[in-house]
Amino acid sequence: MFESLIAKLPHLKQQLEEFTQLYERIEVPAKTILLREGQVSKRSFFIEKGCIRAWLNHNGKDVTFQFFFEQEGLSSAESFRKNIPSVLTIETIEPSIIHVLHKKDYEYIMQKLGADTAFLKEMIEIIFERQLHYVKEFISFIRDTPQQRYLNLLQQKPHIVQRIPQHYIASYLGITSVHLSRIRNKLMKENK
Amino acid sequence: MFESLIAKLPHLKQQLEEFTQLYERIEVPAKTILLREGQVSKRSFFIEKGCIRAWLNHNGKDVTFQFFFEQEGLSSAESFRKNIPSVLTIETIEPSIIHVLHKKDYEYIMQKLGADTAFLKEMIEIIFERQLHYVKEFISFIRDTPQQRYLNLLQQKPHIVQRIPQHYIASYLGITSVHLSRIRNKLMKENK
DNA sequence: TTTGTTTCTTAACAAATGTTATCGTACAAC
DNA sequence: GTTGTACGATAACATTTGTTAAGAAACAAA
């Protein structure tokens, strides 16, 4: 679970491997809600198998914010770190195997590693990279048309398009499933 | 310049105050481009007086990404930290007084402070908060109509609406200035 | 003062996108 | 098998938003 971190911080190998045992492994069916919008998150997740989407409700229709797949970790960061109600709902799309880290164990880990400057610097890198990811997504949302975003998605993350039901893709692109269907139809005709 | 940081990390007071001297103070007119899209950023900025916008070009029309005001720092973070071409252009809106930190001095500061765990933890907090800011902006962009975003802006950041030319506001909201004008007109009529 | 530039509004029209409804297919549950 | 449900395509129509153009007001430069 911490493979990439261990590769960068070999002196923490033993400790990080111990922390792996703090995770609880659960198997859940599709459409399981792991965290509901409005709840205060007490758990962080790591995906062994399956996929998850984070979404939010707006006037009854749900808007997908992000997808997650195998070997990725996620949480409702603001809620988890700051003990405030989550803006996002976290829900499995497929039957999944998830590793769950409870907040008290997270705090134990952070307390253990908080004195290690190499670890803290690595944390900064990770958070910085995540910030860049959101900025890029945001900019793409501002700048590109839905059709262009769909083409980007096809090119850059084809696994998402192949694996995720189309109406979730549409809500991720910020459009209705009807409109996505029109775009796909138009693209098909253009490519004969 | 580092007031809030000094308040949180009093043991670094002297050092942080010394670093202030590494900044170069410049006065520039309105519409000065401090960093142009495509350039690799070598400078980070802090605003003493005036305001700045970060924007990007898309098919000839510019899209405003963010506004900055007095006592705020900014950079094209990805470009500055990773030495890659900037996606954003950074440009003054008003005549401004800016404090400029060159990359070599930034690296000197980071090297000096990199052994201080309290400082690193504070960095994590700051980057984390910034990430949350972008996520919130992003979610608002996904979820709210242009009219709602304009009302949010009026309520939450009235200083922006008062101070910034309307066509920049429009491009920040993701709409044309014509459409923003329509929205304003409609809102006026609704409030008699 | 005159001139040019920027900013904002408004109108007419065009394009993009949403809404609602219907239909067909695939697939799982029974 | 039958049934129900999720998913996707399509059509007709409504709404939102963009485009282009024109003009007015504010303001700075000459």
Long-range interactions of B8-14: CB distance < 8 A, separation 24+:
B8/B122, B9/B116, B9/B118, B9/B119, B9/B122, B11/B118, B12/B113, B12/B116, B12/B118, B12/B119
The predicted-structure confidence for A68-81, as pLDDT tens digits, reads as follows 999 999 999 999 99
Nucleotides, chain C, CB distance < 7 Å: 6-12, 16-21
The predicted-structure confidence for A133-146, as pLDDT tens digits, reads as follows 999 999 888 888 89
Pairing of strands B33-35, A61-68: unpaired
Q: Using the beta-carbon criterion (under 8 Å), do B142 and A63 form an inter-chain contact?
A: yes
CB of residue B95 closer than 7 A to nucleic acid strand D?
no
Report CA-CA distances (Å) from B149 to B77, B135, B140, B183.
Answer: 26, 15, 7, 11
- Which among B21, B23, B43 is positioned nearest to B34, based on CA atoms? B43
pLDDT of residue B192: 54
Nearest neighbour of B63 by CB, restricted to A56, A131, A143: A143
Choice between B59 and A13, residue whose per-residue pLDDT is larger: A13
Instruction: Return the structure tokens found at B145.
Output: 């109509």
Å between CA of A179 and C1' of D13: 15
Å between CA of B178 and C1' of D16: 13
Average pLDDT, chain A: 92
Contact (Cβ atoms closer than 8 angstroms) between residue B101 and residue B22: yes
pLDDT of residue A31: 87
pLDDT of residue A60: 66
Which neighbouring-strand residues pair with B40? B85
pLDDT band at A58; cut points 50, 70, 90: confident
CB of residue B174 closer than 7 A to nucleic acid strand C?
no
- pLDDT string in tens for chain B (192-residue length): 888 899 999 999 999 999 999 999 999 888 889 999 999 999 999 999 999 999 998 766 788 999 999 999 999 999 999 999 999 999 999 889 999 999 999 999 999 999 999 999 999 999 999 999 999 999 888 888 899 999 999 999 999 998 999 999 999 999 999 999 999 999 988 775
Instruction: Return the structure tokens found at B12.
Output: 């670094």
- Which among A172, A35, A29, A169 is positioned nearest to A90, based on CA atoms? A35
pLDDT of residue A30: 87
Instruction: Return the structure tokens found at A88.
Output: 């996002």
pLDDT of residue B19: 94
Give the number of other Cβ atoms within 10 Å of residue B40's Cβ. Answer: 14
- Which among B117, B25, B158 is positioned nearest to A124, based on CA atoms? B117
Does residue A190 register a pLDDT over 80? no
Q: Using the beta-carbon criterion (under 8 Å), do B138 and A137 form an inter-chain contact?
A: yes
Give A 30-69 residues with CB within 8 A of chain B. Answer: 56, 58, 63, 65
| Strands in chain A per DSSP E | 24-28, 33-35, 43-49, 52-58, 61-68, 73-74, 89-92, 96-102
Could you give the strand order of the β-sheet that contains B61-68, starting from the edge strand earlier in sequence?
B33-35, B89-92, B52-58, B61-68
Phi/psi for A56 (5° steps) reads -140, 155
Residues of A in contact with B138 (CB under 8 A): 65, 134, 137-138, 141
Å between CA of A165 and C1' of D1: 29
The predicted-structure confidence for A95-107, as pLDDT tens digits, reads as follows 899 999 999 999 9
Residues of B in contact with A132 (CB under 8 A): 77-78
Give the number of other Cβ atoms within 10 Å of residue B24's Cβ. Answer: 12
pLDDT of residue A85: 96
d(CA B134, CA B162): 22
Which neighbouring-strand residues pair with B27? B97
Pairing of strands B61-68, A24-28: unpaired
Residues of A in contact with B56 (CB under 8 A): 139, 143
